Amino acid sequence: MATIVDHEKKKASLFESTQNIIKEALGYLGGDTATYELMKEPLRLLTVRIPVRMDDGTVQVFTGYRAQHNDAVGPTKGGIRFHPDVTEEEVKALSIWMSIKSGITGLPYGGGKGGIQCDPRALSMRELERLSRGYVRAISQLVGPTKDIPAPDVFTNSQIMAWMMDEYSEIREFESPGFITGKPLVLGGSAGRESSTAKGVTIVLREAAKRAGISVEGARVIVQGFGNAGSFLSKFLYEAGAKVVGISDAYGALYDPQGLDIPYLLDRRDSFGTVTNLFKNSISNQELLVQECDILVPAAIENQITEQNAPDIKAKILVEAANGPTTAKATEILTERGVLIVPDVLASAGGVVVSYFEWVQNNQGYYWSEEEVNEKLEKILTQSFQQVYQTSIDKKVNMRLSAYIVGLKRMVEAVKIRGWV
């Protein structure tokens, strides 16, 4: 059984490996020591305690965070996760990754991230609402449509965004749809936002498959995680004629070399993405990752592919739809074995790209069709992939380092030209 200390250690090491890769990438960009000192940590980190009146009348106090990595390019932007294992180190690392995503895709943002240590599966809707509103009250000084713009992340959704937007609007005494993205359509959400992370993964997966000479039609794909990204992705891949041979949720995994019946599984999943408990022949998540396939897509949580299982991964392409699924050591092993890695900061950027579209639409009060949104997303991610791929060839570095070089470039220029370093 993993203990809390194990989780904290793993997350600390994710943060450290992020700092290491920033240092390495800055080496290629001519960044000096001061630039590294500035970028290795978020500029701001707020820890809050949120008292929530539970349905039984007792009060529970939750811990939350909001980290803002760097706002030299523009306001910070990034999701809020609700999860029992949220730590300060994790939120800090995630805020840095958001900077890289925005840099790669050319959005006028720096990175931000928030989280609350809680188990939303154990809370009622009313408790969830009070917690969401309490969090916004606690961080309201730090955030805003031109300062830091939150969004959904693990176990948060458009309903939670709606409560948060409403609370912020109450505090500011005017409608503030641009304060948060991932809202329901009726409150100024964007067409296509809900499935945008998975759309983005589908685009970069297709580009990677082209480079590796694999046809998506008929390709055997394993998708770990059946939450927002994993479920939409399985659907899109199934519709594109890929053979989705494996899927999983927090409790187990299903694998069938003949391909799974994705429409049926989507129909049976609950709102947290749980479905494997309905089957007797499920295997573990760890077993799933090493099954035969052409393309592996971790779309769940961090630290899934490690030096222990990396030698046994069968996939030729690894597309990281989750944030931080692969450790630094595992990246080395897989790169050596010739696996094409599409790193998280590129593969999962579709969500924030469409969040940016949502924010632009809120600012101009003029809304686009889903076709328009998808067309723009397609263009940005195809270009982003090509840029990261080409940089990895030109500089003879792996795709992860290449993504950091591309993603940090503009921020390095911005901090210099502002006179910060």
How is the beta sheet containing 317-319 ordered, strand by strand? 252-255, 243-249, 220-224, 295-298, 317-319, 340-342
Q: Which of 118, 162, 352, 405 binds ligand GLU (CB under 6 A)?
A: 352
Q: Which of 351, 357, 387, 397 binds ligand GLU (CB under 6 A)?
A: 351
Site for ligand GLU in 164-193 (CB under 6 A): 181-182
Q: Which of 77, 130, 206, 316 binds ligand GLU (CB under 6 A)?
A: 77
Dist. CA 24–CA 267, nearest whole Å: 45
Q: Does 348 bind ligand GLU (CB under 6 A)?
A: yes
Least separation in angstroms between residue 134's CB and ligand GLU is 20
Among 42, 75, 78, 227, binds ligand GLU (CB under 6 A): 78
- Segment interacting with ligand GLU (CB under 6 A) among 45-53, 115-123, 241-249, 348-356: 348-356
Q: Is the dihedral of CA 408, 413, 419, 421 positive or negative?
A: positive
Q: In a 3-state reduction of DSSP, which class is residue 47?
A: strand
Find all residues with CB under 8 Å of 390, minimum gap 6, and list them.
Answer: none
For residue 76, state whether it binds ligand GLU (rule: CB under 6 A). Answer: no
Element (H, E) at 82: strand 80-83
Strand partners, 305: 326
Q: Where in 304-323 is the site for ligand GLU (CB under 6 A)?
A: 323
Burial (0-12, 13-18, 19+ Cβ within 10 Å), 369: exposed
Min dist CB 351 to ligand GLU, Å, is 4
Stretch that binds ligand GLU, among 12-20, 50-58, 285-293, 351-359 (CB under 6 A): 351-359
Which residue, 245 or 381, is less far from ligand GLU as judged by CB? 381
Q: Which is nearer to ligand GLU, 89 or 153 (CB)?
A: 153
> Of all residues in this chain, which one has the CB nearest to ligand GLU in the complex?
79
Candidates 273-281, 308-316, 346-354, 394-402; binding stretch for ligand GLU (CB under 6 A): 346-354
Q: Residue 152's closest CA among 103, 203, 185, 114?
A: 114
Q: Does 300 bind ligand GLU (CB under 6 A)?
A: no
CB 54 within 8 A of CB 86: no
Q: What is the CB neighbour count within 10 angstroms for residue 213? A: 7
Active site residues: 113
How many residues bind ligand GLU (CB under 6 A)? The answer is: 14
151 lies in the site for ligand GLU, by CB under 6 A:
yes
Stretch near ligand GLU under the rule CB under 6 A, chosen from 1-9, 293-301, 347-355, 371-379: 347-355
Tell me the residue ranges of DSSP E strands in 228-374.
243-249, 252-255, 295-298, 317-319, 340-342
Q: With binding defined as CB under 6 A, does residue 230 bind ligand GLU?
A: no
Q: Give burial (CB, 10 Å; 0-12/13-18/19+) of 224.
A: buried
Cα 170 to Cα 162: distance, rounded to the nearest angstrom: 12
- Between CA 149 and CA 145 the distance in angstroms is 6
Q: Which of 79, 110, 192, 324 binds ligand GLU (CB under 6 A)?
A: 79
Smallest gap from residue 207 Cβ to ligand GLU (A): 19
In the complex, which residues of this chain contact ligand GLU (CB under 6 A)?
A: 77-79, 101, 151-153, 181-182, 323, 348, 351-352, 355
